[in-house]
Amino acid sequence: MTFLDALGAFGAEDVAKMRNIKKLVYCVVALLAASILAPDFLFGQSQLPVAYPDGYRGWERVKSMVILEGHEHFEAFGGFHHIYANEQAVVALKDQVAFADGAVLVFELFETITVNNAIVEGQRLVIGVMEKDSERFSASENWGFEDFKEANPRLRMVTDMREQCLSCHATQKANDFVYTTYHR
C-alpha cells in the first residue's frame, strides 16, 4: 500500500481534518515560541514581565535582617533576608529622591539554621523583585512585582501584584512603596 492509498483509506474529509489539526498545531507552536522569545510581540510592551535580576548578588547590599517566630511577618517571610539595589535604586535610596524607571530592588530570603549559637543562612527560599517602569507597570503604582521561587528564573510566583505584594507595600506610599531606607 502506497502512502497515497493510505491517505485514500482515510477519505478526503479525514485528510482535510488532519491538515486543519496540523495547521492548528503549527499556530500554537508558533505562538508559544513567540511568547517565550519575544513576549512584547504577543502581549505588547505593556505586558513584558518583571525581568529576572541577573547578577543581583554583585549589586550593593543595602540591608540584612533575620525575622524570627513571633514577628508580624514571620508567616510571610520568616528567615534571613538581604536586600540588594541596582545603581538607579541606590542613587534614589542614598539621595532620598524618587526612583527612576529602571530601578530594581531584590529581597533575597534564606531559611535560618541555628548552629553553635549562631544564626546562619540555610537554603535560598525565594527572591522578591521590584522593578520600576512607569509604562509597563502603571496598573501597580509604576512598580512590577515578582517572586522567583528558589531564585529560579522559571519559577514565577506572582499572579496578582496588587493583592500579593501591594497589599503591604501600599503602606509605604510616601516612600514610593519601598520599605528600605539607606543605612550609611
Shortest distance, CB of residue 41 to ligand HEC, whole angstroms? 26
Distance CA 156, CA 109 (A): 15
**Grid coordinates given for 26:** 503549527
**Grid coordinates given for 69:** 517566630
If one counts every other C-beta atom within 10 angstroms of the C-beta of residue 144, the result is 21
Shortest distance, CB of residue 22 to ligand HEC, whole angstroms? 41
Residues present in the chain in total: 184
**Grid coordinates given for 102:** 529602571
Shortest distance, CB of residue 105 to ligand HEC, whole angstroms? 4
Shortest distance, CB of residue 119 to ligand HEC, whole angstroms? 15
Helix (H) or strand (E) segment spanning residue 19: helix 12-37
Binding residues vs ligand HEC (CB under 6 A)? 63, 65, 73, 76, 83, 105-107, 128-130, 145-147, 158, 164-165, 167-169, 178-180
**Cβ proximity to ligand HEC, 122 vs 176, nearer residue:** 176
Shortest distance, CB of residue 60 to ligand HEC, whole angstroms? 13
Asked if 89 and 108 count as a contact pair (C-beta separation under 8 A), the reply is: no
**Cβ proximity to ligand HEC, 13 vs 163, nearer residue:** 163
**Cβ proximity to ligand HEC, 32 vs 168, nearer residue:** 168
User: Nearest-CA neighbor of 164 among 137, 179, 146?
Assistant: 146
Asked if 101 and 115 count as a contact pair (C-beta separation under 8 A), the reply is: no
Give 15-20 contacts, CB < 8 A, sequence gap 24+: none
**Cβ proximity to ligand HEC, 42 vs 157, nearer residue:** 157
**Cβ proximity to ligand HEC, 14 vs 87, nearer residue:** 87
